[in-house]
Amino acid sequence: MKFSKNGNKIKSKFIISRKNVINAILLIVLFVVPLIVKSPYYRDLIFMMFFYAIIAASWNFIGGFAGQISLGHTAFFGIGAYTSTLLYLNFGLSPWLGMIVGAIFAVLVGIGIGIPSFRLKSVFFALSTIAFAEVLRLLSVYFRGITKGTVGLLIPFKEGIQYFMFRDKLPYIYLTLILMLIVIFVAKFIRDSRTGYYLMALKEDQDAAESLGVNTSLYKLIALIISVFFASLAGSFYAQYLLFVDPDTVFSFGYSVNMALFSIIGGVGTVLGPIIGAFLLTPFDVLLREWLGNEFFGLNFVIYGIVLIIAVIYFPSGILPRVQKLYKKYFFKNILEADSRKSDEYRKINEGEKIIDKEFFLKSNILKADSTINKGSALLQVKGLTKKFGGLTAVSEVDFEIKKEEIVGLIGPNGAGKTTIFNLISGFLLPNNGTIIYKGNNISNLKKPHKVCYTGITRTFQVVKPFQNMTVLENTMVGVFAKTKDRILAEAKAKQLIDFVGLTRNRDFLAGNLTIADRKRLELCRALATEPELLLLDEVMAGLNPKETEEIISLIKKISQTGITLFVIEHIMQAIMNLSERIIVLNYGKKIAEGTPEEVSKDKKVIEAYLGEEYVTKC
C-alpha cells in the first residue's frame, strides 16, 4: 500500500506540472492568436468561437451539470441583449452596467420560471422552456413601441470603452475571451465542489440524492442561476458587438439548439466539452456557409441536424470524454488511479487523510452518533400513522416507538405497507393522518426527504438506486457531503467508510458496474456517510445468496455497535429474527403484533397472516 502510494505521488506531481504547462501554453495561444491574425474576417471568426463557447458553456451548467434540458435558453440570452440595449438607448446607461442589470433581471426571471418547471418530467421541462422563449419572442415582436418589433433596435455607434463600443474587433475579442475564461473557471470550480457532486447525483437519481440530504430543487436552481447569468451577459456582449438586436435572432430556437449542440458534440456535462464543441463547430459553420453560399441556404442546418442525430445516437458522450479515455490509455497506462480529477489532487488528499486521522478518526468508531438522547429512551415515536392511496389504505393507524440504539425489524406479507411506512418517515410521502416524532420534533410534515436526512434519519431503497455513472467513491462522497463542504475531507472520510463496508477493491469502479451484493453495500455505505442516528434499511438482503446475506448481517451488527439505531424491513425471516431485538408485524396496513422475535413468531395473528388461517389451529 505504501509503495503504491509513493509511486502515485511521484507520478501525480508529474501530471500536475505537465498539465499546468499545457494550460499555460493554451492560454498564451488564446491571447496571441488574435494579435497575429490580421484579417477582420478571421477576427470575426475568433470572436464567434469565443462567443459560442460562452453560450454553450452557460447552457451546460443547467443542461449538462444538472441534467435539466433547456431548449429555450435564448430567452435569457435575449433578455440580456434587450435589457442592456434598451437601457442604453432610452436612459443612456452604460452597457457595462446595463449588462449587469440584464443579468440580474434574467436571474430573477429564471428563478420565476425554474421553481415551478423543475417539478416537470425532463421532456416537459424542455417544452416549457421552449414555450417561455417563444412567448418572449412574440411579445418582443408585438410591443413595437419599445422594441421596434421585427425591425429590431440599432445601437448608434459611439466609440469608447464606457459605451462598450470599439472601432476595432480586437477589444471585443479580448473581452469575450476573458468572459469565456471566467465561465470555464466557474465551471471547473463548481465541478470540483460539493455542488458539482450534488448536481451529478441529482442528475443520476433524484430520490437517492434527496435521501442523502441533497436539496435537489435548490441545487437545480443554483445551476440555473449561474447558467442564466452567463447567458444573459453573452446576450449583452452580442448586442454590443453587432450593435443590433432583433427578436428573430436573439430569441431564435436555433440558438437554443446550437447551445446544446456544441455541448453535446464536445462532451455534455464536462467543463471543457462545450468550449471544444464551439471551437470545432464554429469554423466548420463558417466554412460550410462559404462553401454552400446563398444558393443552398438552409443546407448547413440540414447538415447540423444530421450531425446532431448521429452524435446523440452514436457518440452520446461527446468528443472530450473519448479523447480523455484515449489519452489515458496511451500515456498513463501504468497509473492506477482511474480518474484524472483524483490523481491531480492525490498528494493533497493524502495530507488531508493525515489531518483527519488525527482530528476525527482517532476515536474507535468511524461513525459517530452523538446524541442528546441516551441509550434506551425513545428516538422515534409514530402515532396513528395513516396513508391512503385513492380508495386503498396502505397504512392505517399505526403506532410504534423505536428506542435509541435498538435494532427493530419491520415484517409483513407483500403489500402490508412496510415500504410506505419508510416513505412516510423519510419524507417521500405525506401522511393523511398521524404524527412522526423524532427526538421530540414532529417530522411528519417536512415534505422534503433532504430535510429528514438533516434531522439524522437516512434510508436505503428496496430497489437500489446507485448513481450509476459515478464511482463508488463519488457515490459515497455525496453522502459525506451532508456533513462537510470540504472535498478533501469528504474524500478521505468516504474512503474510510468504503473500507468499513468492504468495498475497498471497487472504490474507483462505476456504481453501474457493481454486482447486486456490492450495490447493496454501496447503498449502505452512502447512507452511513450522512452520519445518521437512525438508519432505515429496506430489504438490504433481498436477492443475495446465503454467504452474502451473512456478510451483510455481520456488517449491520457492526453498524449497530457504533451506536446507530436501525429500523429494518426484511423478508428473510432467519435474518430478521437473528438480527432484531424487537419486531413489528404489519398486515394490510395495520400493526398486528409487536415484540421480541420469539413472541412474534408464536403470535397467532402473525402465523395467520403468513401461512393462512388453517395453520393457526394446527399450531
Partner 1 sequence: MIDIIIQLLITGILLGGIYALVSIGLCLIYGVLEIVNFAHGEFLMLSMYMTYWLFNTIGADPYISILIILPIFFIFGAAIERIIIKPLINADHLNQIFATVGLSMVFQNLALLLWRADYRTITTAYSSKSMIVGNFMISFPRFIAFLIAIGIIVILFVFLKITYTGKAIRAVSQERRAASLMGINVDRTYQIAFGIGIAITGIGGAILMPIYYAFPTVGNLFSLIAFVVVVLGGYNNLIGALAGGFIIGIVETFSGFYITPHLKEAIYFALFIMILLFRPTGLLGRKENA
**Facing residues of 403 across strands?**
378
Asked if 214 is part of the footprint of partner 1 (rule: CB under 8 A), the reply reads no
**C-beta of 359: minimal distance to partner 1 in Å?**
41
Nearest approach, Cβ of residue 259 and partner 1 (Å): 11
- Piece of 89-97, 126-134, 187-195, 597-605 that binds partner 1 (CB under 8 A): 126-134
Among 101, 288, 308, 378, binds partner 1 (CB under 8 A): 308
Q: Is 391 in the site for partner 1 (CB under 8 A)?
A: no
At its nearest, how many Å lie between partner 1 and the CB of residue 272?
18
Among 305, 376, 413, 512, binds partner 1 (CB under 8 A): 305
If binding is defined by CB under 8 A, does position 75 make contact with partner 1?
no
Alpha carbon separation from 279 to 49, 180, 268, 272, 287 (Å, rounded): 5, 12, 15, 11, 13
Nearer to partner 1 among residue 12 and residue 263 (C-beta):
263
User: Least distance to partner 1 from the beta carbon of 72, Å?
Assistant: 10
Helix (H, G, I), strand (E, B) or coil at 432: coil
512 touching partner 1, by CB under 8 A: no
Does residue 309 touch partner 1 according to CB under 8 A? yes
Distance in angstroms (rounded) separating the CA atoms of residues 272 and 266 = 8
Q: Provide, rounded to whole angstroms, the least separation between the CB of residue 27 and partner 1.
A: 31
**Do residues 531 and 369 lie in contact, with contact meaning Cβ atoms separated by under 8 Å?**
yes
Residue position matching grid coordinates 480586437: 170
CB of 605 to partner 1, least distance (A): 33
378: exposed, middle or buried (C-beta count within 10 Å: 0-12, 13-18, 19+)?
A: middle
Bridge-based pairing state of the strands 565-569 and 407-411: parallel
Q: How far is the CB of 563 from partner 1 (least distance, A)?
A: 40
Among 50, 51, 132, 237, binds partner 1 (CB under 8 A): 132
Residue 63 interacts with partner 1 (CB under 8 A): yes or no = yes
Shortest distance (Å) from residue 112 CB to partner 1? 10
Q: Does 510 bind partner 1 (CB under 8 A)?
A: no
Binding part of the chain for partner 1, among 127-135, 223-231, 272-280, 349-357 by CB under 8 A, reads 127-135
Is 327 a binding residue for partner 1 by CB under 8 A? The answer is no
The reply on whether position 126 binds partner 1 by CB under 8 A is yes
- In three-state secondary structure terms, 457 is strand
Residue 128 within binding range of partner 1, rule CB under 8 A = yes
Q: What are phi and psi for residue 380, nearest 5 degrees?
A: -130, 130
The answer to whether 57 contacts partner 1 (rule: CB under 8 A) is: no
User: Residue 185 or 291: which CB sits closer to partner 1?
Assistant: 291
Of positions 47, 54, 67, 385, contacts partner 1 by CB under 8 A: 67
* CB contact set of 110 (below 8 Å; sequence gap of 6+): 76, 224, 225, 227, 228
127, 154, 288, 510: which one binds partner 1 (CB under 8 A): 127
120 interacts with partner 1 by CB under 8 A: yes
Q: Which of 99, 257, 544, 564 binds partner 1 (CB under 8 A)?
A: 257
Instruction: In whole angstroms, give the CA distance from residue 140 to residue 373.
Output: 61
Select from 21, 25, 108, 139 the one that contacts partner 1 (CB under 8 A). Answer: 139
Q: Is 313 in the site for partner 1 (CB under 8 A)?
A: yes
- Alpha-carbon span 49 to 62, nearest angstrom: 21
Distance (Å, rounded) from C-alpha 477 to C-alpha 490?
6
Q: Which is nearer to partner 1, 1 or 313 (CB)?
A: 313
Q: Which residues pair with 407 in a beta bridge?
A: 566
Phi, psi of 567 (to 5 degrees): -125, 115
Q: Is 111 in the site for partner 1 (CB under 8 A)?
A: no
* The only residue of 131, 242, 280, 510 in contact with partner 1, by rule CB under 8 A: 131
Instruction: Cell 435564448: give the residue.
Output: 74
Q: Residue 331 and residue 516: Cα distance in Å, rounded?
A: 33
Check: CB of residue 314 under 8 Å from CB of residue 97. Answer: no
**145 makes contact with partner 1 (CB under 8 A):** no
145 versus 298: smaller Cβ distance to partner 1: 298
Beta carbon nearer to partner 1, 141 or 577: 141
Give yes or no for a contact between 138 and 261, defined as CB atoms under 8 angstroms apart: no
Closest distance of CB 121 from partner 1, Å: 7
The C-alpha cell 412474534 sits at 600
The radius of gyration computed from the CA coordinates of the chain, to the nearest angstrom, equals 29
Order of strands across the sheet that contains 590-595: 457-459, 534-538, 565-569, 407-411, 582-587, 590-595
Closest separation between CB of residue 300 and partner 1, Å? 8
Buried b (16+ CB within 10 A) or exposed e, 172-183: bbbbbbebbbeb
**Binding-residue pattern over the window 259 to 288 for partner 1, x denoting contact by CB under 8 A:** -xx--x---x--------------------
Cβ proximity to partner 1: between 55 and 260 the closer is 260
CB of 514 to partner 1, least distance (A): 20
Q: Is the Cβ of residue 119 or residue 547 nearer to partner 1 in the bound state?
A: 119
Q: For residue 76, give the nearest of 51, 97, 96, 104 by alpha carbon.
A: 104
Bridge partners, 386 (sequence order): 433
Give the C-alpha separation, 472 to 222, whole Å: 25
Kind plus residue range of the DSSP H or E element containing 307: helix 299-314
> Counting beta carbons within 10 angstroms of the beta carbon of residue 121, is it exposed (0 to 12), middle (13 to 18) or buried (19 or more)?
exposed
* Residue 134 CB, nearest approach to partner 1 (Å): 5
Interacting residue with partner 1 among 4, 20, 25, 142 (CB under 8 A): 142
- Nearest partner of 493 among 359, 376, 389, 395, judged by Cα: 359
**Residue 297 touches partner 1, criterion: CB under 8 A:** yes
Neighbours of 292 (CB within 10 A): 15
Closest CA to 531 of 553, 564, 500: 564
Instruction: State yes or no: residue 199 binds partner 1 (CB under 8 A).
Output: no
- Contact set with partner 1 (CB under 8 A): 63, 67, 69, 71, 116-117, 119-124, 126-128, 131-132, 134-135, 138-139, 142, 253-254, 257, 260-261, 264, 268, 296-302, 304-309, 311-313, 316
